[in-house]
Structure 1
Amino acid sequence: MTKSRAKVLADEIGSWHLDVSIDVVVSAFLSLFQTLTGKRPQYKVDGGSNVENLSLQNIQARIRMVLAFMLASLLPWVHGKPGFYLVLGSSNVDEGLRGYLTKYDCSSADINPIGSISKQDLRAFLRWAAIHLGYPSLKDIEAAPPTAELEPQRSNYSQLDEVDMGMTYEELSVYGRLRKIFRCGPVSMFQWLNRIGQTGGSRMLSHPNLCYRWGAKLTPSQVAEKVKYFFKYYSINRHKMTVLTPSYHAESYSPEDNRFDLRQFLYNARWPYQFRKIDELVSELDVKDYAANDTMAATSHGVSGMGVAAAGSGNPKAGF
């Protein structure tokens, strides 16, 4: 579990570690809400709606933020030291792009050392640091399935980030680079991922694997749905970027709204023009694929095409 892995890492680093349960604080908020409204929200695994489930997760996330700032201001006093501590944020690029974070939770801090780095790059760093920096517990942290751990675990259910988001961190890493470095909107991103309508695609050396696989293994309509899904949630949650903690600027794909990625934060999440254009491109590609398959079928039966059979052979269909 995350709790035990955090303790092991703290011991390796030599930091002072606290294990704090916030259950009693969460219960106090829920009791207050029940007193005010006569209702008590339930988790999804207990029969609650998505609205109830999300609100219960947000309560926990925001309590963590308040507690972190309280500890930062009072722990020096507890230890008889002057001043105060800084709170470090822990959200990354992919969570910011997808909006997979609560406004004013652990994404809110004094500074975020990893806020401009993608999950994929962070995992690569953890693998390197486990060996070269002498913190072997980082290997277990990197290998653990990413989870917010804000929902109760059941024998048949465990909360996982990528299931919640409806996309993988690998996909988000590609989206983020195309969106920022290559200035892609919905239409141009779809074209990149299908290897059409763009030149210089081979120059995307930082992430050729997924980008090139998509056009070969997914149909145009499947790629279109992925692009639409990303931009839907990107636009719905873009407002969260306006209040995120300033990040250490490390990568050119950083979506940090404070300094390096100044964009509007109110979008039409339906993207009517862009999504309609993508649908048109999908239709064009489907027609081309149908025509290409039809031509291949005809060629394979020897009824068209130069050199179907060698001239001069005994085949009456031979010719040029």
Structure 2
Amino acid sequence: MSHKLKLAGACLNQTPIDWENNLRNIRSAITQAKDQGVDLLCLPELCITGYGCEDLFLSQWLPEKATEKLIEILPYTKDIAVTIGLPIRFNDQIYNTTCLITDGTIAGFYAKQKLANDGVHYESRWFTPWPSQKIDTIQVDGNEYSIGHITVDYKGITIGFEICEDAWVPDRPCEHLKTKVDLILNPSASHFAFGKSEFREDLVVKSSKQFDCVYLYANLLGNEAGRMIYDGDVLIAQKGKLIGRNHRLWFHDFRLLEVEVDFDNHTATENIKPHYSDRKEEFSHAAGLALFDYCRKSRSKGFVLSLSGGADSSTIATLISFAVRTALEQRGKAGLEDKLGFKLKGETPGAITQQLLTTAYQATKNSSEATFNSAKNLAESIGATFYNWDIDAEVDQYRSTIEQAIGRKLTWELDDITLQNIQARTRSPIIWMLANLENKLLMATSNRSEGDVGYATMDGDTSGSISPIAGVDKHFVLQWLQYAEHHLGFTGLKEVNSLTPTAELRPEDQHQTDEDDLMPYEVLMKIEREAILHGKAPKQVFDSLKSDYEHKKLKDWIKKFFRLWTRNQWKRERYAPSFHFDDFNIDPRSWYRFPILSGGYLEELEKL
């Protein structure tokens, strides 16, 4: 008997407890696989419920309903083998499992052993790790099946399993199998981060060599639950050689990748798609997909943005335009309308952007003609709807009210922060009105560097439904804008890229710039990585960077960073949800937790 099988993995764009969407994607992937003659299809981790259900996993009803949905899928798996991920309640514990179904019949449940519990992951809050090498029996729909550290024989080959984190840590489950396997299936929910795909590919290839087998990995796709983005990786390797790689970050409900493997002769067809070249290209596609999915899954009609003409808001406007362009290329207008749930008036990316993106330049007496022209020209170049108005009357009214109350005039010498903040806050109510009127998402414009040091006005530029660039630093934002102008064709960014970043909240004769207020953005980025990503104390940060900068300046910058970081945790607790792009972030709800009240590093800063 020839042991030649057509194997496939499929990435799925799922949504927590969206049963109709999730099962439709599962059925569609199975149907396409069968049409293409696939023998075995691997679907991602927890694909029935969605990975991001969080504390819903602790409920009694969710695992029960997931099992009901699994039974509904069985008739669609005739003449094919499929792995489907779901939570299972067993002996009053919740396990993260994948069920292998062969020809409409459940063959068994593999239960995850190594739970992800670092960075953005909190799996041990919801799931119990399965003991290594243990196999038990479970009743499902009146029948008994094996559950645990199982292997399954299918068409003459032996299949083993790992689920995501199982493969990323020492003492892996497949190191403890009692029998050699020909194929390892790894259904995953591995979040996007810059450069992670290369590490993941290396892991899959090395795993296939280590276990002398074919290794098949299938990830989720898209912005599943709000913060995490999944890139849709499907990777297949055979005995140390990559034989299959999927397109990543595509605007589809699912994407299938298949290869044919000859297990007797250790050969295979190859199906290797190209991948992105660097962080800036990855960011364009990841952020664009995240925004598109967030919009449609929140049932919004598009986006509203206070477009200042500066780097941050211009980045967001450009990303939305790029998302429209990419989605239109990949899905067509009908596909966009189907996913968004409403009709689009235009045919071109510019016409569709005009409908989906509404912008407004909100001037004060401190705003410049240069930033107005920058905002206006960018909006016109991408097709966005553009309004402009001034808010001086509203600012003056607030100022007059408080001056009357306290019995004195406000001055820039005594009341600098107050006078800056009231301008930013006054912009918020009117731009919120526009978002409410159009049933669109209001974009908050803060970046991660501003989040580090609190260089943002609460209820001003932090106002919004989503903060799409809060996961990247300002140094990267400025680099990406140059890339977008020169490599993505967004020529309307020319004026944006010629401006020095400034809040434009002080009078023009004070020549306010962001870096004068803070420090050079490149320095801020380096201090941030040492302090937050690597967890170093102030003196350790200094020791890491002292060869690059004049020592007194560096010490002053480090002191400013830690003082502002400590003082502004309350702001980070209140920021709108953000996307995870880097190998770390500062969102206390998804990566870095820090006390709101603390000693402020006083003793540590004295050592400088």
| Contact 2:453 2:561 (C-alpha < 8 Å) held by counterparts | yes
Question: Residue 261 in 1 paired to residue 588 in 2?
Answer: no
Match of 2:548 in 1: 213
Match of 2:436 in 1: 73
Q: Structure 1 residues 222 and 6 mapped into 2: Cα distance closer, same or farther (>3 Å)?
A: closer
1:186 shift after superposition: 1.4
Matching of residues 81-96 of structure 1 within 5 Å: 84-96=439-451
Match of 1:274 in 2: 604
Q: Which residue identity lines up with residue 138 of structure 1 in the other structure? A: L
Q: Which residue identity lines up with residue 571 of structure 2 in the other structure? A: K
Match of 1:55 in 2: 418
| Contact 1:126 1:139 (C-alpha < 8 Å) held by counterparts | no
Q: In proportion to residue count, which structure has more strand?
A: 2
Matching of residues 25-174 of structure 1 within 5 Å: 25-43=394-412, 48-49=413-414, 52-74=415-437, 76=438, 84-154=439-509, 157-165=510-518, 167-174=519-526
1:151 shift after superposition: 1.3
CA distance in 1, matches of 2:515, 2:555: 19
| Contact 1:93 1:119 (C-alpha < 8 Å) held by counterparts | yes
CA distance in 2, matches of 1:108, 1:8: 24
Match of 2:538 among 183, 186, 191: 186
TM-score normalised per structure 2: 0.38
Instruction: Give the paired residue count.
Output: 239
Q: Per-residue displacement from partner, 1:75-123 (whole Å, max 9, x unpaired)?
A: x2xxxxxxx1110011101111111111221112100111111111111
Question: Residue 4 in 1 paired to residue 348 in 2?
Answer: no
CA distance in 2, matches of 1:54, 1:177: 28
Q: Which residue identity lines up with residue 578 of structure 2 in the other structure? A: S
Aligned sequence identity (%): 30
CA distance in 1, matches of 2:584, 2:380: 33
Match of 1:244 in 2: 575
Q: Which residue identity lines up with residue 159 of structure 1 in the other structure? A: Q
CA distance in 2, matches of 1:258, 1:60: 29
Match of 2:387 in 1: 18
| Contact 2:584 2:591 (C-alpha < 8 Å) held by counterparts | no
- SS for the counterpart of 1:175 is helix
CA distance in 1, matches of 2:591, 2:395: 36
Match of 2:562 among 214, 231, 255: 231
- SS for the counterpart of 2:528 is helix
In structure 1, stretches of 5+ residues that fail to align are 77-83, 195-211, 280-320
Q: Which residue identity lines up with residue 566 of structure 2 in the other structure? A: S
- SS for the counterpart of 1:233 is helix
CA distance in 2, matches of 1:263, 1:145: 32
| Contact 1:72 1:86 (C-alpha < 8 Å) held by counterparts | yes
- SS for the counterpart of 2:410 is coil
1:222 shift after superposition: 4.7
In structure 2, stretches of 5+ residues that fail to align are 1-369
- SS for the counterpart of 1:256 is coil
Match of 1:312 in 2: none
- SS for the counterpart of 2:386 is coil
CA distance in 2, matches of 1:232, 1:180: 14
CA distance in 2, matches of 1:253, 1:175: 14
Match of 2:163 in 1: none
CA distance in 2, matches of 1:92, 1:151: 21
Match of 1:291 in 2: none
Q: Which residue identity lines up with residue 428 of structure 2 in the other structure? A: M
| Contact 1:65 1:106 (C-alpha < 8 Å) held by counterparts | yes
Match of 1:204 in 2: none
1:226 shift after superposition: 2.8
1:30 shift after superposition: 1.4
Q: Which has the higher contact order (CA 8 A, sep 6+)?
A: 1
CA distance in 1, matches of 2:602, 2:441: 44
| Contact 1:176 1:253 (C-alpha < 8 Å) held by counterparts | no
TM-score normalised per structure 1: 0.71
CA distance in 1, matches of 2:400, 2:553: 45
CA RMSD, Structure 1 to Structure 2 (Å):
1.7
CA distance in 1, matches of 2:537, 2:459: 28
1:126 shift after superposition: 0.7
Q: Which residue identity lines up with residue 69 of structure 1 in the other structure? A: W
Match of 2:207 in 1: none
- SS for the counterpart of 2:568 is helix
Q: In proportion to residue count, which structure has more helix?
A: 1
1:140 shift after superposition: 2.6
